[in-house]
Amino acid sequence: MTAVAGQEEQLWSRCAGCASLLYRKRLRRNLDVCPECGEHSRLGAPERLRQLVDPGSLRLLPDRLPEADPLDFVDVLPYPHRLTAARAATGLPEAVLCGTGTIGGHPAALAVMDFRFLGGSLGAAVGELITRTAERALDDRVPLILVTASGGARMQEGALSLMQMATVSQAIAALREAGLLTISVLTDPTYGGVAASFATNTDLVLAESGARMGFAGPRVIRQVTGRALPEGFQTADFLLRHGQVDMVVQRRSLRGRLAALLAAVRAGRPARTPVPRQEPARDHERLADAVPPAAADGGPPPEVGDAWDTVRTARHPGRPTTLDYLDSVFDGFVELHGDRLGGDCPAIVGGIARLAGRHVMVIGHQKGHTTADLVARNFGMASPAGHRKALRLMRLAARLGLPVVTLVDTPGADPGISAEEQGQAAAIAENILTLTVLPTPVVTVITGEGGSGGALALGVADRVLMLQHAVYSVISPEGCAAILWPDRSAAPQAARALRLTAPDLRRLGVVDEIVPEPATAAHDDPAETARRLRAALLANLLPLLDVPPAMLVRLRRQRFRRFGATRAGAQVGAR
Ligand SMILES: [Zn+2]
């Protein structure tokens, strides 16, 4: 709905669906749904909460986080200026509003996103607030309801915003373990990092009429595929038809539906005994104590040159691939295929191999050195089948007691039409959640390109290593430039602003250790690169083998929990 300009602004709106001129009070009485055509206009978080929660029962969670600009991010405007403008425009401190209340008399904790605030983007503060709401649900032993509206991760917070996908997912995992219901309500629009995490890894996923949800946005998919999108692509009805949501609900029925679901769950009994709330970090349980840091070769950590040059090195076609490393770093690789649901994605390879005589499960993105290889492997961009194959192998590894090594080298998950039809967002979301609780050691190496959610789908680990000239980012520099700058030619500036190099990410705590590459880069001396990678893997993996699985999981959760509160506000030191 657009307000009609001029004096009448407060009184009348024009419907975006049927262009009817509507009396605003009538529209509001009708929950901002056009009485003529049924168009559901977008709601801000305060109005949404007012519609969903029983009158008088709402208690807002008062947390307000310190302002943070961890990257000192500047595009055409400094990030703090954008935050200030968003606060002034919405009257909200952040892009999510959280609270507890009752719906039809049933208690719940709720986090409601607001698209008006920087596109509902997921930054460290948003992730932290949603995580705290989930923890509140765990403490109160009540269901969690998430109402999503987001363009995805917040580019201005770089990889730290990517980490929020893991932080919130592990809070959802804790509720799952405790037998507490989680429900997400998809509203228009829900995309990117939010779609590929807590919007789809909840127990139940409801879509409001008119909602659109997807991993990749329609503009990106059109650009990449050069194809017209099918009618109704990514709409609520499309999602229902493709098995990705439990139901499509009209706004006027939403409160009643939620109340009915909450009532049903209250009547049932949780199948499992509740687990205690995730405990805060105990001094004697820091990974640093349980696992001595890997012995460095001495000397200062490796540095890199300009960020854009590093991006180009990371994408060099001669750079060793996962299959190259399986040949050079590991022995006896036995490849395992298939997701058991109907596909075998060539962009992800996985199977059992030996590392210095020990069996491990290795899973990695596969690119290629020639155009033909690259095309056959879809440029290392995994489909939902690829993510589900990886999920199957991770779970198998845990069951067999094998540690997992993942090798990340992808521009991002496949942004295609069929990928969306097959549930790309939910496939990534389930991998992230599963890795947060996988009871076996996990070591990740970013070997080339670590591209957003597709990278994180293999990247939630006890130790995250990164080759010196690899990059890891919430969005490609070209994609970031296209959105925040006048055009894509600003990709080099975007690369610098995103802090996507190994030394930057080591300083931000996203990466634990940098594996030095031989001069001038991995592709110049693959054998020496393999030798160094093998040494780094052994140094990081072997100590993890002695840590009891339950403790490993606890420590892994602490690792991904700290990207919220403690990071927000705490400026990263030297840069
Ligand atoms: Zn209308």
pLDDT at 567: 44
Long-range contacts (CB closer than 8 Å, 24 or more residues apart) made by 492-495:
492/306, 492/307, 492/308, 493/75, 494/75, 495/307, 495/308, 495/310, 495/311, 495/471
Amino acid 227: pLDDT: 92
Residue 92 pLDDT: 95
Q: Cα of 37 to ligand 1 centre, how many Å?
A: 4
C-alpha 209 to ligand 1 mean position (Å): 14
Q: How far is the CA of 16 from the centre of ligand 1 (A)?
A: 6
Q: Taking a C-beta distance cutoff of 8 angstroms, is the pair 109, 142 a contact?
A: yes
Distance from chain centroid for Cα 270:
28
CA of 42 to the centre of ligand 1 (A): 13
Distance 40 CA to ligand 1 centre (A): 9
Q: How far is the CA of 30 from the centre of ligand 1 (A)?
A: 12
Phi, psi of 138 (to 5 degrees): -65, -45
- Residue 9's pLDDT band, with cuts at 50, 70 and 90, is low
- According to DSSP, residue 239 is labeled H
Question: How remote is the CA of residue 38 from the centroid of ligand 1, in Å?
Answer: 6
- Per-residue pLDDT averaged across 373-393, rounded? 97
Dist CA 36 CA 20 (whole Å): 7
Residue 346 has which token pair? Answer: 């060539």
pLDDT digits (tens, 9 = 90+) for 480-523: 999 999 888 999 999 999 999 999 999 999 999 999 999 999 99
Q: What is the pLDDT of residue 258?
A: 96
Ligand 1 centroid vs 32 CA: distance in angstroms? 10
CA dist 12 and 523 (Å) reads 64
Beta strands in 302-356 (DSSP E): 331-335, 348-355
CA–centroid distance, residue 41 to ligand 1 (Å)? 9
| Residues 177-215: tens digit of each pLDDT | 998 999 999 999 999 999 999 999 999 999 999 999 999
State mean pLDDT over 250-278: 75
548-564: per-residue pLDDT in tens? 999 999 999 999 998 86
Cα 232 to middle of ligand 1, angstroms = 18
pLDDT band for position 462 (cuts 50, 70, 90): very high
Rounded Cα distance between 312 and 165, Å, is 27
Q: What is the mean pLDDT of residues 458-476?
A: 98
Position 295 scores a pLDDT of 46
pLDDT at position 570, please? 40
> Is pLDDT at 568 greater than 50 in this prediction?
no
- pLDDT above 90 for 296: no
Confidence label for 49 from pLDDT (cuts 50, 70 and 90): very high
> What is the model's pTM?
0.89
Q: In this structure, what is the dihedral angle of CA atoms 293, 299, 300, 304, given to the nearest 10 degrees?
A: -110
User: 18-39, pLDDT tens digit by residue?
Assistant: 999 999 999 999 999 999 999 9
pLDDT-above-90 percentage for the chain: 81
Give the percent of the chain with pLDDT over 70.
90
Which residues have a beta carbon within 5 Å of ligand 1, which is an ion?
15, 17-18, 20, 34, 36-37, 39
Average pLDDT (378-399) is 96
Which pLDDT score is estimated for 62?
81
In the reported structure, the alpha carbon of residue 71 is separated from the centroid of ligand 1 by a whole-number distance in angstroms of: 43
- Say yes or no to pLDDT of 41 above 50: yes
514 close to 540: Cβ distance less than 8 angstroms: no
pLDDT (tens digit, 9 = 90+) per residue, 211-230? 999 999 999 999 989 999 99
How many whole angstroms separate alpha carbon 180 and alpha carbon 172? 9
What is the structure's pLDDT at 242? Answer: 92
Distance 415 CA to ligand 1 centre (A): 32
Asked if 144 and 242 touch (Cβ cutoff 8 Å), the reply is no
With a cut of 80, say whether residue 288 has pLDDT above it.
Answer: no
Report whether pLDDT(279) > 60: no
Q: What is the mean pLDDT of residues 143-154?
A: 97
pLDDT for residue 281: 47
C-alpha 146 – ligand 1 centre gap (Å): 27
Cα(88) to ligand 1 centroid in Å equals: 29
CA of residue 426 relative to chain centroid, distance: 11
| Low-confidence winner among 109-123, 140-154, 329-343, 405-419 (lowest mean pLDDT) | 329-343
The DSSP call for residue 293 is P
CA of 20 to the centre of ligand 1 (A): 6
Residue 160: which residues within 8 A CB-CB, separation 6 or more? 70, 71, 123, 124, 508, 510, 563, 567
pLDDT band at 293 (very low <50, low <70, confident <90, very high): low
Structure-model confidence comparison of residues 315 and 8, the more confident one: 315
Nearest residue to 507 (alpha-carbon basis) of 300, 248, 339: 300
Buried b (16+ CB within 10 A) or exposed e, 218-233: bebbbeebeeeeeeeb
332's torsion region: left (phi>0), alpha (psi -120 to 50) or beta?
left
Phi, psi torsion values for 504, nearest 5 degrees: -60, -45
Placement of tokens 């919130």 in the chain? 168
Report strand pairing: 213-214 vs 2-3: unpaired
pLDDT in tens, 128-144: 999 999 999 999 999 99
